[in-house]
Amino acid sequence: MNARTHAASACRTARVSVVRALVAPVALAALLSGCMTAKLDENRFLPTAIAADEGLVILAKPQVEGTGSEDSFMDCVGDKLASGQRPLRVHGNQEFQDTLFPWFEASTAPVRAEGVTALLNRPKVARRLADTGVRYVVWLDGNTRKTDGGGSIACAAAPGAAGCIGFGWWERQSDYEATVWDLKTAKSAGSVTTNVTGTSAMVGLVVPLPFIARVQGTACDRLAGQLRSFLSGTDPSAAGGT
């Protein structure tokens, strides 16, 4: 049994235990808090070492190649990269697209990094790009979705009393890929992917008690951390992650 299968089995066992332990809210929190698995993968094609005067921009991968990512997730990753002990210069995606309009719009952006060469051969585009200070374009693709669920909660109200009883659970999965283009060499430097799966639950013990797994938030934290290491040229032991 591989690690991911084992983790999924552990979560299913936890759900069964939860149903049998509805009278122990503290035990429920302990059981459900462990029902989240995360995986990181990195593929590097070129060395990267972003300089202090160089920046990056995060864009949703063109719809012709993928589903694109939620604006809120892109903002989350960008905010994480622009803060912390080693902040990077993150250019606003809308500002970047407006400055380079229409060459980096979803319908007109180069399909491959090598296609940037044709853009750089246009003096007007090359000047605008240089003015932004952007060295790397990070294309984000993926989403967060519900993958499973079950159970039910019933609530009722009567004069002077109200309450809920039951147990409901749902599983959500965040699956994202960040492809890094080096605009200086007009090549793809590599990619970073993250997959986070978590089980949340709602327990009805008179008052509904939610136990929520921060699936998308965890995916944002992990992807931003790995991207920071990727762009800085470091090789953390978490690469290929758990």
Place 84 in a pLDDT band, splitting at 50, 70 and 90: confident
> Cα–Cα distance between 95 and 92 in angstroms, integer?
5
**pLDDT greater than 50 at residue 159:** yes
pLDDT for the residue 237 = 44
Place 2 in a pLDDT band, splitting at 50, 70 and 90: very low
| Half-sphere exposure for 80 (CA within 13 Å, toward CB) | 20
> Cα–Cα distance between 21 and 13 in angstroms, integer?
12
Inter-CA distances, 107 with 44, 65, 102, Å? 27, 11, 9
- Each residue's pLDDT tens digit, 144-156: 999 998 888 888 8
> Cα–Cα distance between 88 and 51 in angstroms, integer?
9
Q: What is the mean pLDDT of the chain?
A: 83
Q: Which amino acid is at 54?
A: E
**pLDDT greater than 60 at residue 236:** no
Least Cα distance to 59 among 76, 41, 71, 43 occurs for: 71
Which tokens hold the place of 105? 């719009």
- Each residue's pLDDT tens digit, 109-122: 888 888 899 988 99
pLDDT for the residue 6 = 43
Place 1 in a pLDDT band, splitting at 50, 70 and 90: very low
**pLDDT greater than 50 at residue 124:** yes
pLDDT for the residue 57 = 97
pLDDT for the residue 235 = 56
At 218, is the secondary structure helix, strand, or coil?
Answer: helix
First-to-last CA distance in the chain? 15
> Cα–Cα distance between 39 and 174 in angstroms, integer?
10
> Cα–Cα distance between 225 and 107 in angstroms, integer?
30
Listed in sequence order, the DSSP H helices in 66-181 are 71-81, 93-99, 116-120, 123-132
**pLDDT greater than 60 at residue 226:** yes
Q: What's the full length of the chain, in residues? A: 242
Which tokens hold the place of 216? 């998308």
pLDDT for the residue 238 = 39
Sheet containing strand 89-91, strands side by side? 36-44, 187-211, 161-182, 134-158, 55-60, 89-91
Place 162 in a pLDDT band, splitting at 50, 70 and 90: confident
Place 73 in a pLDDT band, splitting at 50, 70 and 90: very high
Listed in sequence order, the DSSP H helices in 121-240 are 123-132, 215-232
- Each residue's pLDDT tens digit, 173-203: 999 999 999 999 999 999 999 999 999 988 8
Stronger pLDDT, 158 or 238, i.e. the higher one: 158
Q: Average pLDDT in the 18-46 region?
A: 67
Place 3 in a pLDDT band, splitting at 50, 70 and 90: very low
> Cα–Cα distance between 125 and 47 in angstroms, integer?
25
Predicted TM-score (pTM) of the model is 0.80
pLDDT for the residue 205 = 77
**Could you tell me what percentage of the chain is helix, strand and coil, using 3-state DSSP and rounding each to the nearest 5?**
35, 35, 30
CA 210: distance to chain centroid? 23
